[in-house]
Amino acid sequence: YEVLDPEGVGYIERSQVMLLLDELYQHYSDFKKAGVPKGAARDILVDILDVDGDGVISVQDFLYFLDVTRIKLSQDTSVTFLEKHLPMMVHSHLYQWLRAAVHFPYTNLIVDFVVSVLIIINFSFHLEDNYTPTKLSVPFAMTTVLIIVLEALVKILVLG
């Protein structure tokens, strides 16, 4: 469910479900064999997921559907260290911002890009001798390591 609701708003729009159906029928052979639902059949599929009829698929709708269809998935109710021992910190604006940043779909891509650029720049300082540090190579290397360590620490804090 979290894949379909990466921002954590608590519901999935009908249009997102329609896009998911398109992807499933386009890329997975079992769905292709069943045939692509069109028109009313497609709306019925979404209506089945929208148990309470409010026009969006909430976590409760999704779990109810899985329960009725006997699909065995469970909601992750584990509590992170911060949630258990420092609940006031979890409700802070900084933590909420970090949580949103960690769950943002392109965060890993952005961090990896920045680290890659720093590594390339660092290599450019060593065109003739790769093993002798220069005045500029040391700060770039330390910045690269710092970014990688900070990324790991933030993910550990937010994700547990």
Helix (H, G, I), strand (E, B) or coil at 58: strand
In the chain, what is the greatest distance between 2 CA atoms, to the nearest angstrom? 69
The helix (H) or strand (E) run that includes residue 11 is strand 11-13
Mapped onto helix, strand or coil, the DSSP state of residue 130 is coil
| pLDDT, tens only, 23-62 | 777 776 666 666 666 677 777 777 888 888 888 888 888 7
Q: What is the pLDDT of residues 65-122, one digit of tens each?
A: 777 666 554 555 567 777 788 888 888 888 888 888 888 888 888 999 999 998 888 8
Question: What's this model's pTM, rounded to 2 decimal places?
Answer: 0.46
